[in-house]
Amino acid sequence: MKPTLLDRNPISIQVVQKATAPLTIRLTPAAEKTAPGLPGKQVGEILVFPTAGGQEVLVSLGDAAKITADVYRQAGGALAVWFRKLKVERAAFAAADLTEAQFSAFCEGLFLGAFTFDRYKSDAEPVVKTEVECIGGSAAVIEHAQALCAAVNLARDWAHEPANVINPVTLSGRVQELAKEFGLQYREVDEKALESMGAGGLFSVGKGSQAKPRLIILEYAGNGAPAGTKPVVLVGKAITFDTGGYSLKGTENIQGMKGDKCGGVTVAATLMAAAALKLKQPLVGLIPAAENMISGDAYRPDDILRMLSGKTVEIISTDAEGRLILADALTYAQKEFTPHAVIDLATLTGGVVVALGRVRAGLMCNHDELAERLAAAGEATHERMWRLPLDDDYAKAIKSDDADIKNSGGREAQPVIGGIFLKQFVSNDVPWAHVDIAGVADSPKDDTYRPKGATGFGVRMLVNYLESL
């Protein structure tokens, strides 16, 4: 029988009354004075000692004064990597001394740290399954962590897939299969329908590719939500490959542009998590998907596009394409639904990487309560954000001589201008947040529970936010 997406992780955690595994795991703060045979200051450092019945594995939690929930997540991630390298099949762990939050974070670290993407490597080693016998842990906490991390790892997996595998059409097909497995409602709007309905942003960005654009729609009804409950609408940018169009990217910047779909795959994964966890809050996922290519049919600088909202946009740069497809999706969200809130995620600007590095995403929001809830969810899950301004003064940068607005304002305040552009397509009455994940969607190196590559940023934060409603 084909394994479901929920049970594909190479690590399984089972609650038992008595452990039988020869390997015993113990989490411990670092010794005050480091010495051979004592746990070191680095979180996740592992020491192994022989015992009468097998071996004891000490996993360092680092400085005792600096232990947070995320430290437990890091320790779990480091342990998962260690399991994989040593091909550990069975291990035991006593969770009685951990709080529920600490245990949950540790389980998340194990599930997330076990992720690999090697399906295209001819010399990839077979995956060894590791069974962790857990004494004193909560089965409900384990199940929650398993479902949540399965969704994160799905987002990572799809983000890694190259553009010759995932394009707008094949992405739509994958989302349809996901919907079937998790009982979600799926539909798509194809390129002909996009053109006829006047979605000039999404249609124009994608028309230059042989794989034509799609607006992918997922709906989750909510588990026990009262009739008439307004849905939260999630919008995710899915540029399956970004050449920059006629504003062509250079060699250094074009590599890695398969990752420009991370916002879209995060939205799909969040809907999966919501269904698997049976969240109460109804959800809609909108994934505008396009491939930004050069051809005789591609859009150009100086073109003026009429968007789904009716606004006209002068194209300054065809490499500022993400905001165009998001704008049409934001309009669609308000036309077709009555949202409780609209949240978009996108690898939108290089400027946010300059501003915030790879530590925090940029958050722009027109509603203080929504911003505060999202920020709290980010801190709780260590998917942190920093709020940037949306002052109307910034709108001067996108004033156009020949159209309502233009799609680029130059280098100054680049991430803010991206948010300001999107703000033009959102009613002031609709709570809306824009999350620029360009700096955090990808990790340049292995980092405990974040293996090198796609991070799946946003899934855990969004689920935490949705659980708070």
CA distance 86 to 71: 23
Q: Is the separation of the CB atoms in 371 and 365 below 8 Å?
A: yes
Half-sphere exposure of 89 (CA within 13 A, CB side): 3
* Residues 189-222 pLDDT 10s: 999 999 999 999 999 999 999 999 999 999 999 9
Domain 5-137: assigned CATH number: 3.40.220.10
* Residues 227-282 pLDDT 10s: 999 999 999 999 999 999 999 999 989 999 999 999 999 999 999 999 999 999 99
Count Cβ atoms within 10 A of the Cβ of residue 52 and give its class: 0-12 exposed, 13-18 middle, 19 or more buried: exposed
Give the three-class secondary structure for 29: coil
Give yes or no: 406 in active site.
no
Q: Is the separation of the CB atoms in 457 and 262 below 8 Å?
A: yes
Give the three-class secondary structure for 106: helix
Tokens of 4: 């479901």
Q: Which amino acid is at 10?
A: P
At residue 38, the pLDDT reads: 72
What's the pLDDT band for 128 if we cut at 50, 70, 90? Answer: very high
The mean of the pLDDT values for the chain is: 96
Q: Is the pLDDT of residue 75 over 80?
A: yes
- Candidate list 84, 207, 323, 373, residue with the active-site label: 323
CA distance 421 to 155: 27
Beta strands 214-220 and 185-189 are: antiparallel
CA distance 242 to 180: 29
CA distance 323 to 282: 26
C-alpha torsion 254→255→259→261, nearest 10: 30
Residue ranges, CATH 3.40.630.10, the chain: 148-467
- Candidate list 26, 41, 90, 249, residue with the active-site label: 249
Give the three-class secondary structure for 426: coil
Nearest Cα to Cα of residue 27 among 93, 88, 113: 93
Nearest Cα to Cα of residue 241 among 293, 311, 189, 178: 293
Give yes or no: 360 in active site.
no
Q: Is the separation of the CB atoms in 156 and 453 below 8 Å?
A: yes
* Residues 379-388 pLDDT 10s: 999 999 999 9
Looking at residue 252, what DSSP letter applies?
Answer: H
Q: Is the pLDDT of residue 1 over 50?
A: no
Q: Is the separation of the CB atoms in 73 and 114 below 8 Å?
A: no
Looking at residue 28, what DSSP letter applies?
Answer: E
What is 148-467's CATH superfamily? Zn peptidases (3.40.630.10)
Compute how many other C-beta atoms are within 10 angstroms of the C-beta atom of residue 395: 16
Residue ranges, CATH 3.40.220.10, the chain: 5-137
Compute how many other C-beta atoms are within 10 angstroms of the C-beta atom of residue 394: 18
Share of the chain above pLDDT 70, in %: 98
